[in-house]
Amino acid sequence: MTIEKNIPLKAFTTFHIGGAAEYFVRVHSIDEVREAIEFAKKENLAITILGGGSNVLIDDAGIRGLVIKIELSGIALEGDTLTVGAGESWDAVVACAVSNDLSGIENLSGIPGTVGGAVVQNIGAYGQALSQTLLWAEVYDTSTLEKQTFSNSDLQSGYRDSIFKRTPNRYVVLRAALGLSRIPKPDVSYKDLAARFSDATPTLEEVRAAVLEIRSAKFPDLDVEGTAGSFFKNPILSLRDAKVLQEMYPELPLFPLPESSGVKIPLGWFLDYRHGVIDMRAVRVGGARMYEKQFLVIVAERNSSSNDVKELARIVQNKIFEVTKIKIEPEVAYM
């Protein structure tokens, strides 16, 4: 394990933005995680944990302290349980599940980033969320310096949320286990999937192929432009507030959450110029703009600054507030 100094971080993020890490280390095992944390404690350095860099916006000023890049690998299948290292690519895990006829995460195909990031963020797409199959996550606690296992209920997962999201950089996710099913239960209720499979029940392979195709048509080419996917969380309102909003905008779809009494508001609807509420097509801040094929996504041309993206995000937050009085939050983590 080598601890390096002054390492540029932009190439480790999908936004391709950000300055350098004061100290930087790649870790491949729990022993290396422990060693890195001990080094940070000894030198009195702040710790920042980086996975696939797919949901972060790193400041151009860089990150002080030690950036720990999680590269713990391993995918093991036992019965219907997949146990995976936190540094594995999430999509490689989905591919492995689908090729073994295991159902439960096929709708989460094509999401960039690592397993660790997926757990922290409780990733979700097309009606599936990781928390529906996650059995446990093993972590290293940087304050007690001990290994610990969180069960599914310990994780307090919510919409793009978990206990780890609320305690940034305290827990380093090491491994996670997913309980999958041999009985295929395809969920194609989201409109893009429903439109493809209206008259037949698809196989897991077919769902995965469809999700990959739909996503790639709506996502920018990361070799050309940067992005961290959906930039904002869809807000959750009470049924009463959601109905008030729908009276103002009768075409607005509402999605009641099965797990709570809240109602999810599809923010992208307001940002879709075709609905005549907000039109972001002409708005540019430096190299940053809202993506024309996916209205919740910010894209950044190469050489954009972190401030370009933050300023654009502020403009969107203000416009949404003007129209709905809702204070929206970024889904992307600022570092």
**Residues recognised as catalytic:** 160, 230, 331
Q: How many CA atoms lie within 13 A of 236 on its CB side?
A: 11
The Cα 85–Cα 160 span in angstroms is 20
Site for ligand NAP (CB under 6 A): which residue of 191, 284, 302, 314? Answer: 191
* Stretch touching ligand NAP by CB under 6 A, among 95-103, 138-146, 229-237, 320-328: 229-237
Residue 193 CB, nearest approach to ligand NAP (Å): 8
CB 116 within 8 A of CB 70: yes
Contact between 234 and ligand NAP by CB under 6 A: the answer reads yes
Site for ligand NAP (CB under 6 A): which residue of 75, 77, 179, 190? Answer: 190
- Which residues have CB under 8 Å from 58's CB, separation 6+? 9, 10, 13, 15, 17, 18, 19, 306, 335
Contact between 238 and ligand NAP by CB under 6 A: the answer reads no
**Minimum CB distance to ligand NAP smaller for 65 or for 127:** 127
CB 311 within 8 A of CB 283: no
Helix, strand, coil percentages (3-state) for the chain, rounded to 5, are 30, 30, 40
Contact between 266 and ligand NAP by CB under 6 A: the answer reads yes
Residue facing ligand NAP at closest CB distance: 229
The Cα 57–Cα 105 span in angstroms is 26
**Minimum CB distance to ligand NAP smaller for 40 or for 309:** 309
Residue 211 CB, nearest approach to ligand NAP (Å): 8
**Minimum CB distance to ligand NAP smaller for 24 or for 232:** 232
**Minimum CB distance to ligand NAP smaller for 102 or for 236:** 236
What are the tokens at 227? 């992005």
CB 137 within 8 A of CB 149: yes
Contact between 192 and ligand NAP by CB under 6 A: the answer reads yes
Using CB under 6 A, which residues numbered 270 to 309 contact ligand NAP? 294
Q: Which residue type occupies 34?
A: R
Contact between 255 and ligand NAP by CB under 6 A: the answer reads yes
Residue 41 CB, nearest approach to ligand NAP (Å): 33
Number of residues that bind ligand NAP (CB under 6 A): 17
**Minimum CB distance to ligand NAP smaller for 184 or for 266:** 266
Contact between 125 and ligand NAP by CB under 6 A: the answer reads yes
Contact between 189 and ligand NAP by CB under 6 A: the answer reads yes
Using CB under 6 A, which residues numbered 196 to 215 contact ligand NAP? none
The H or E element that residue 191 is part of is helix 191-196
Rounded to 10 degrees, what is the CA torsion of 36, 163, 91, 14?
-70
**Minimum CB distance to ligand NAP smaller for 23 or for 164:** 164
Provide φ and ψ at 137, rounded to 5°: -130, 130
The Cα 164–Cα 176 span in angstroms is 13
Residue 262 CB, nearest approach to ligand NAP (Å): 12
- Which residues have CB under 8 Å from 198's CB, separation 6+? none
* Stretch touching ligand NAP by CB under 6 A, among 26-34, 80-88, 174-182, 186-194: 186-194
Contact between 246 and ligand NAP by CB under 6 A: the answer reads no
Site for ligand NAP (CB under 6 A): which residue of 229, 235, 262, 330? Answer: 229
Q: What's the Cα-to-Cα distance from 215 to each of 88, 192, 193, 300, rounded to whole Å?
A: 21, 10, 11, 18
Q: What's the Cα-to-Cα distance from 278 to each of 131, 132, 186, 282, 324, rounded to whole Å?
A: 33, 34, 35, 11, 11
Which residues make up the interface to ligand NAP (CB under 6 A)?
Answer: 124-127, 189-192, 218, 229-230, 234, 255, 264, 266, 268, 294
